[in-house]
Amino acid sequence: MEKLILLMVIFGTCCAAPQDLSGKVFVFPKETNTDCVVLMTPKTRFNSVTTCLRYQSDLSRTYGIFSLATPTFKNAFLIYKINAESDIELNARDGKAYFTSLKLDANTWHSMCATWDSSTGLAQLWVDGKATIKKFVQTGAIITAPIAILGQEQDTYGGGFDAKQSFIGMITDFHMWDTVIPTCEIRRYMEDKHFSPGNVFSWKALDFQVKGQVLMELVSEVM
């Protein structure tokens, strides 16, 4: 396809500098227990977390969307679709909560934000502009150097991938903050308006590595 960029980067090879990926999407084209995008950050403490992303998939099985692991917690923070129904499992510090009866149609672009407050242990999802109820997951900060991955679910620190849990589809506009951002900011993200970029990971300045075959396309080519 025109302007298709094939990223075949060895796992240990770093980008020279954070890249502005505005107007681009990562394409995860196949079932695999290796291919993923690894995100780098110097931060080693997270008192709270907010993540936002847009994605599309046609999978009916379980799959990991975003996985952050530490040496202590393999699921320090995890967004995981758990079955053919529209249910999401959200993990923090190996605790988990299930958000059910969501509208996550296949072959449709979805905007999703997830929040978790370490002081209360409460988590919440936002899907396509609608907020879920809040549910208890786990309290306590996430500490020590994380490994953050798009497209796989870590069963060990930086690995343990299962092909049957791999993501097949497209991801764009990924941001992560080390706070629970205000509702107004989440709404701006959902409505694709101006918002404050992530201070942990920002799509506008993303430091990443690619493991295996991951494609990048222009948003205009796939939306």
Which tokens is 220 given?
């205009």
If you ran DSSP here, which 8-state letter would residue 42 be given?
A: S
Burial of 63 (0-12, 13-18, 19+ CB in 10 A): buried
Length of the chain: 223
- Position 14 scores a pLDDT of 44
pLDDT score, position 223: 83
Angle (CA) 78-82-84 rounded to 5° is 145
Instruction: Provide the pLDDT for residue 194.
Output: 94
- Residue (of 108, 64, 104) closest to 85 by Cα position: 104
- Cα(88)–Cα(57) distance, integer angstroms: 14
- Describe the chain by its helix, strand, coil percentages, rounded to 5: 5, 45, 50
Query: In the block, which residue shows the tokens 């999401």?
Result: 88
The series of mean pLDDT values per 10 residues for the chain, 223 residues long, is 38 64 98 98 97 96 97 97 88 97 94 98 98 98 97 96 97 98 98 96 98 96 87
E-assigned strand segments in 100-146: 110-117, 122-127, 130-131, 135-136, 142-143
Model confidence, pTM? 0.92
The span from the CA of 58 to the CA of 168, in Å, is 8
Let me know the angle formed at the C-alpha of 96 by 137 and 140, rounded to the nearest 5 degrees. Answer: 40
Query: Which residues have a Cβ under 8 Å from the Cβ of 42 and sit 6 or more positions away?
Result: none
pLDDT at 16: 54
